[in-house]
Structure 1
Amino acid sequence: MVVIVVSLRVGIVFANGMLVGAVGSGVRDGVKVTGEGDGVVVMVVSTGVVVWVNASGVLVMAVASGVLVMVIASGVVVMVIASGVVVIVIASVPVVCVVVSGVVVLIVDSVAVVMFIASVLVDLVGASGVVVMVVVSGVVVMVVVSGAVIMVVVSGVVVTVVVSGVMVIVVVSGVVVMVVVSGVVVMVVVSGVVVLIVDSVAVVMFIASVLVDLVGASGVVVMVVSSSVVVLVVSSGVAVTVVVSGVMVSVLVCDSVVMVVVSGAVVMVVVSGVVVMVVVSGVVVMVVAS
């Protein structure tokens, strides 16, 4: 090992003809690099490549295979590089950026993760440390605001939307399957068909493959439909129309049957509970006067 003394306090160290170190301070006899006085290695070089740089006794840079691998300021790592790619950047101690294979995998603001990106996952997090977005394979799978989920996506399709921590929309295969307001289900959809609508706490409409109940806000059925055909209409809790096979067979008003129809023909008229007319095969067979 050869030490070339530049001054009484600075020297350069060589090994096998290669610069291996630079010494700052403490070099008095031109031989010793460490262990005497306040000599501190300020730079180390291996096979012609800088591997270590010191400033005031603190490592400020590390290099491997000719590539900068670490930068340090005030004793704190501020940058780490792997395979020529920055993998960690640090500002004021907290990590602010981590990169793997040229891809940012972690960003931190203050002490909270701001963004995490991996081959299959991205968490976008607010400065307060609250996740605001999760992405899988480049597709948003969840959005969160103030710690509450506001949207969930599957296969690139929104499956849930939540407002103020309350689910308001659920979607499956791109089709809305549920809508919720203030924690109350207001609509349910199956196979793209509305199957349930609710107003306040009362079912407003229920639709299935063969049945539809249309219900008023008070929770009273106002219409029943089978196979897309109205089979019952109710007013104020009383059936006012009954239909069989698509044909009206009964009409009721309030609590009194007013008219009964079979196969499109009136067969009975009732007023205040009293039969006033009966018809058979289209012929009036009875008339009653009050």
Structure 2
Amino acid sequence: PVIPVQSEGFKGNKRAGYQAACDAMFRLIGTGDTAGISKYSLNILGDFNLAGEIWMIREYYEKMGVEVVANITGDGRVDDICRAHGAGLNVVQCSGSTMQLAHMMEKKYGAPSLRVSYFGIEDMSEALYDIARFFQQKYPDDPESDRIMERTKALVQEKVSELVPKLEKYRKALAGKKAAIYVGGSFKAFSLVKAFRLVDMDVVMVGSQTGTEEDYRELEAITDPGTVIVDDANPLELNSFLKEKGVDIFVGGVKERPIAYKLGIGFCDHNHERKEALAGFEGMLNFAKEVYSSVMSPVWRFAPRNQG
């Protein structure tokens, strides 16, 4: 099926485009039958199934004992979206794109929402625990809510115990290396800072295109003193900060890749064209491998900045 999005001439900015898409989705929601949906159920909002990530996330929820009603919009189905109003919770991953849809659903259908991140061990674990706690608090007298929490603890323990030993090789090699982050949304930046800390790397610059003043205060709180925090920076500014800080790897989108390569700096692709899953517990290992292979590549010996 084709769902029309009313945005004549691609009017407005990026946020206006998100709003137009949310309006289109909202016209579908509420038109389907909600019979048979568990009270322990949720919708996944703002995940676009990059490199099959949403399939991993759905598997985590299913192991917890929580039903996934609809994905909006990664690997989504129109019939599922039509009955999404029957879910007990909306879980919002990319808040910039779909938080407005969550607000619209809460206003009309009373569906609460949680904002989560699926990137990195810390945030992925917290996302699962937050959802388990939500159902425990909503249904305190139902033993199933406690069983969901127990299954969640077992799942996190299993995944973390498998992952941490595999990360050790990369942590030893990357300890003390310097990273810079510039992404679209600040929520993604929070998770990246924590992920770099897990492999003992120093984040010396971090920023986003759409962050708020509150977001930047939070970034300041979780980064080390002296970290450069930028808002909607242009290529010249990014170029200057990368050189000043002696960065070893730059995480950004497709527009930032040429900046890194011109400076002879490793680059980690974190945009919607990537082919490697970076979400979930498995994604953290993929991220560490990608950072390691980029930073430790022998090609950087020949970069002008490393010539004596």
TM-score scaled by length of structure 2? 0.19
When Rg is computed on C-alpha atoms for both structures, the one with the higher figure is 1
Q: Which has the higher helix share?
A: 2
Q: Which has the higher strand share?
A: 1
TM-score scaled by length of structure 1? 0.20
